[in-house]
Amino acid sequence: MTGESNERILVALDIGTSKVAAVIAAVREDGLEILGLGTHPSRGLKKGVVVNIESTAQAISAAVDEAQQMAGCRIHSAWVGIAGSHIYGLNSKGVVGIHGSEVSASDIERVLDSARAVPLPSNQRVLHTLEQDYLLDNQSGVRQPLGMCGVRLEARVHVVTCAMNAAQNIEKCVELCGIAVDGIVLEPLASAFAVLTEDEKELGVCLVDIGGGTSDIAIFSEGAIRHTAVIPIAGNQVTHDIAMMLRTPTADAEAIKIRYGCALSKMTRAEQIIKVPSVGDRPPRELSRQTLAEAIEPRYEELFAQIREELRRSGYEELLPGGVVLTGGTAKMEGAVELAEEVFQIPVRLGSPYGISGLLDVVQDPIYASSVGLLQYGRGRLAGDFDRAPLADPLPIDGFKSPSANTWLARLKRWIWDNL
């Protein structure tokens, strides 16, 4: 898509459980410049999955309108994130004989086709086939086999699958707003593009994007993705715990959590007193910040314990010299990094999007990790620059209409939506 001055424009739509974020960026020679950001509270999702098409479409439309106004341009298509417990990741292999004496692009396509041919339940479909490395005859650890000589090519990949209807519902919501889908991207993969360094991915690192509805995990080692998982515990449960313990409305619990919350009670002092609104006409009460932290800590501990279990199951627990990187809104709570270090016993840091310019105050926030990562993923796909984006699926996502085929339809829907 191009803007007024013929510059290339990219758009990210992060349809999260707490908020929908639309981010518009211009592709510059030296990177991405963020031109516009729009956010709107999300009401139509539960644990990362669309449960109400109309309210989700309304939230998308509001976020897009705000971003368009800020950027001063109109958008027609977007890269869209997907998450939820319906996502599965598995490692797979494919083997082909090479046609000719050296590896061609079509040999690589054939070997990736063979690697992604995994038996799937009828309601699941392949979302990504992410290259790990290749084995060419006896040579292992080949990152880019194109042009190399050999007779037998083996590919190792990480295949990500998702529920067909979950992806279709996301596409439906976006198209209802008159926007074509450039591609649907696994959210933790997108977040990894935004917050992880190449060194961390090379060494071995675990990314955890802790949002409102789900905590999404992606493990990298030797520069490639090795394991993905989704844990259905995140910020909404923390808010719910506070609302229950304090018997205060959810909106107040959310505000108290963000303003005074701490995930490690020993970092707070009993003398720090906060005011808590009560339900109904009862007067507000006073509460020590330490008591609040004691209500928050068990939920973060439970989440980190489940992540540690997932690390064990993946077989990568001992192979993460790059440590754990937390991102997403729920990772911003004071004490979360410190508590995570106690549970994982490896270094943990808070990851914010980097490698972008424009509106930095706004988008250099862990809440926008997925949005910025979607833009970086899109840029890598457009440029065919797989050095910057070595993990991107180089093949079209099966079953999705290409943006060019449905852009006019999307624009028509947008016009109808705007003029309702």
Ligand X SMILES: Nc1ncnc2c1ncn2[C@@H]1O[C@H](COP(=O)(O)OP(=O)(O)OP(=O)(O)O)[C@@H](O)[C@H]1O
Residues that bind Mg ion (CB under 5 A): 16, 211, 370
> For Mg ion, which is the closer residue by CB, 45 or 242?
45
Phi/psi for 125 (5° steps) reads -140, 160
User: 202-230 as b/e, with b when 16 or more CB fall inside 10 Å?
Assistant: ebbbbbbbbbbbbbbbbbbbebbbbbbbb
Phi, psi of 224 (to 5 degrees): -130, 160
Query: Smallest distance from the beta carbon of 65 to ligand X, in angstroms?
Result: 19
Q: Between residues 66 and 137, which has the closer beta carbon with respect to ligand X?
A: 66
Q: CA 31, 392, 355: angle at the middle one, nearest 5?
A: 25
Residue (18 or 129) nearer to ligand X, CB: 18
Sequence-ordered strand ranges (E) for 98-151:
124-136, 139-142
Nearest residue (CB) to Mg ion, 55 versus 104: 55
* Residue 268 binds ligand X, judged by CB under 6 A: no
Q: How many CA atoms lie within 13 A of 316 on its CB side?
A: 26
Q: Which of 117, 146, 258, 416 binds ligand X (CB under 6 A)?
A: 258
Give the one residue of 1, 9, 12, 19 binding ligand X; rule: CB under 6 A: 19
Residue closer to ligand X (CB basis): 204 or 329: 329
Q: Cβ-closest residue to Mg ion?
A: 211
Whichever of 281 and 361 has its CB closer to ligand X, that residue is 361
Query: 3-state SS string over 199-254?
Result: HHHHHCEEEEEECCCCEEEEEEECCEEEEEEEECCCHHHHHHHHHHHHCCCHHHHH
Cα angle 372, 182, 85; round to 5: 70
Q: Which amino acid is at 113?
A: D
Least separation in angstroms between CB 5 and ligand X: 32
Give the range of 116-124, 252-260, 287-295, 349-357 binding ligand X by CB under 6 A.
252-260
Q: Residue 258 touches which of Mg ion, ligand X, none (CB < 5 to 8 A by kind)? A: ligand X
Q: Within 13 Å of residue 157, how many CA atoms lie on the same side as its CB? A: 30
Q: Return the range that interacts with ligand X (CB under 6 A); candidates 67-75, 120-128, 159-167, 255-263.
A: 255-263
Rounded Cα gap, residues 192 and 189, in angstroms: 5
Query: What x/- string results for residues 311 through 340 when contact with ligand X is judged by CB under 6 A?
Result: -----------------xxx-xx-------
Q: Is 38 in the site for ligand X (CB under 6 A)?
A: no
Q: How many residues in the chain?
A: 420
Residue 411 identity (one-letter amino acid): R
Min dist. Cβ of residue 328 to ligand X (A):
4
CA distance 51 to 65: 23
For Mg ion, which is the closer residue by CB, 287 or 307?
Answer: 307
Please report whether residue 273 would count as binding ligand X according to CB under 6 A: no
* Contact residues for ligand X, defined by CB under 6 A: 14, 16-19, 42, 48, 83, 211-214, 234-236, 239, 254, 257-258, 261, 328-330, 332-333, 367
